[in-house]
């Protein structure tokens, strides 16, 4: 795996955030004018249990360098039990991805409550730094059609 190191390179990091805890926490980070890297983008979902593991695969396929799934702490789920399912799903998913060669830092799940603005900031800052250190993700990525064409023309198979 050759990793192109480029100082200007910014990773793409997707963060699925549950509406009731982490998204609120992220908003609170804004209210408190906390600073964190621009390369993290949140997708609002009602509950972390809404996040289908297939979304994670899709993100990598489309070129995400890292994916975060964040929800309420166990016991605090707005919907009572959603994050317990999240916990099982993504513990297994993370292992399966690692087994297929994806660095576990590229896919992480975290519990961040609505009041933990600082934890949100610290988490995304840390994840961003980790992924920057890892470099661009080349695994599972479907090449953009232009690249695909070049690759094909460069030498069949």
Partner 1 sequence: MAGLTEAQVQDRIREEAKKALASGEVSAVVGWTSTRFEDKTKPYFAETEAECDLLVWNKYCINGTGKFALDDRYPEKKIAIIARGCDSRALNRMLRDKQLKRENLYIIGVVCDGKENAVCEGCQHKNPLTYDVLIGEPVEEQMNAERFKEIEAFEKLTPDQRYEYWAKQYDKCIHCYACRNACPACNCVECYADQYRTGWQGKAADREQNQVYGLTRAFHVGDRCIECGECERVCPMNLPIMRQTKKMLKDINDLFGDYECGLPDDAMPVLGTYKLEDPDEFM
Partner 2 sequence: MTLAKKDLNKALEILSKDAVVFAPTFDMIEDPSEGGQTMGEKKFMPYKEGMFIALDGPNTVKPPKDVLFPNVEKMYRYKTGENAEIVEIFPEDTKKILFGIRPCDARSIEAMDKVFFTKDYVDSYYAKRRENVVIVSMGCVEPERTCFCDSMGLDPNNAPNADVMMNVAKDSVDAFILEAYTDKGKELLEQLKDLDGGAGEAKRDVKCSLQINKDPELDKKLAGMFEHPIWDKITKGCIGCGTCTFVCPTCYCFDIDNENYGAEGCKYRCWDSCMFSDYTRMAGGANPRPTKKERLRNRYMHKLSYFNERYGETLCVGCGRCVANCPSHLDISEFIEKATAADPNAETYTDAPGKEA
Partner 3 sequence: MARIGVFICHCGTNIAATVDVEKVAEAAKSMPGVAYARDYKYMCSEPGQAMIKEAIEEHNLDRIVIGSCSPRMHETTFRKMLKGTKINPYLLEIANLREQCAWVHTDKAKATEKAINLVQMAVAKVANNKPLTTSTIPITKRALVIGGGIAGIQAALDIADAGYDVTIVEKEPTIGGHMVMLDKTFPTMDCSACISTPKMVDAGAHPNITLKTSCEVEKVDGYIGNFEVTIKEKAKYVNHDLCTGCGLCQTKCPTKVTSEFNQGMSKRSAIYIPFAQAVPSKPVIDPQACLKLTKDKCGICEKICPIGAINYQDEVKYTTEQYGAIVVATGYELVDWKQMYPEYGGGKYEDVITGLQFERLVNASGPTEGHIVRPSDGKEPKDVVIVKCVGSRDPKKGKTYCSRACCMYSAKHAHQILDKIPNSRVYIFYMDVRTPGKGYEEFYDNTRKDGAQYIRGRVSKIYKEGSKLIVKGEDSLIGRPVTVEADMVILATAMEAAPGVEEVVSKLGISMDKDRWVQEAHPKLRPVETQSAGIFLCGTCQGPKDIPDTVSQAGAAASKVIGILNHDEMETSPMISHVDQTKCAGCGYCVECCPYKAISLVEVPGRDGNRKVTKTVAQVNEGLCQGCGCCTATCRTGCIDLRGFTNDQILKEVDALCL
Asked whether position 145 contacts partner 2 by CB under 8 A, the answer is yes
The CA distance from 31 to 10, in Å, is 25
Q: Which does 3 bind (CB under 5 to 8 A by kind): partner 2, partner 3, partner 1, none?
A: none
- Residue 137: C-alpha distances to residues 10, 18, 127 (Å): 11, 25, 14
Q: Which does 156 bind (CB under 5 to 8 A by kind): partner 2, partner 1, partner 3, none?
A: partner 2
Closest distance to partner 3 from the beta carbon of 3 (Å): 18
Q: What's the token pair of residue 147?
A: 């690249």
- By beta-carbon proximity to partner 2, the closer residue of 54 and 145 is 145
Closest distance to partner 1 from the beta carbon of 71 (Å): 8
Nearest alpha-carbon partner for 45 in 75, 73, 14: 14
Reduced to 3 states (helix: H, G, I; strand: E, B; else coil), residue 107 is strand
Total binding residues toward partner 3, as defined by CB under 8 A:
44
Q: Per residue in 42-72, is it b (16+ CB within 10 Å) or e — as a string?
A: beebebbbbbebeebbebbeeebbbbbbbbb
Asked whether position 99 contacts partner 2 by CB under 8 A, the answer is no
Among 115, 129, 144, 151, binds partner 2 (CB under 8 A): 144
**Residues lying near partner 3 in the complex (CB under 8 A):** 10, 12, 14, 19, 23-24, 26-31, 33-36, 38-39, 41-47, 49-53, 55, 58-59, 62-64, 78-82, 85, 89, 121
């Amino acid at each position: 795996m050759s990793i192109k190191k480029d100082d200007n390179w910014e990773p793409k990091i997707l963060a699925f955030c549950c509406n009731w805890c982490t998204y609120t926490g992220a908003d609170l980070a804004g209210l408190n004018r906390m600073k964190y890297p621009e390369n993290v983008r949140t997708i609002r979902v009602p509950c972390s249990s809404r996040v289908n593991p297939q979304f994670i695969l899709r993100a990598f396929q489309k070129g995400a360098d890292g994916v975060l799934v964040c929800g309420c702490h166990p016991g605090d789920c707005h919907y009572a039990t959603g994050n317990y399912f999240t916990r099982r799903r993504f513990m297994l998913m993370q292992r399966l991805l690692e087994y297929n060669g994806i660095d576990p830092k590229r896919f992480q799940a975290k519990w961040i409550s609505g009041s933990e603005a600082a934890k949100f900031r610290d988490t995304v800052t840390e994840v961003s730094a980790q992924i920057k250190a890892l470099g661009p993700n080349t695994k599972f990525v479907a090449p953009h059609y232009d690249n695909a064409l070049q690759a094909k023309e460069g030498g069949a198979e």
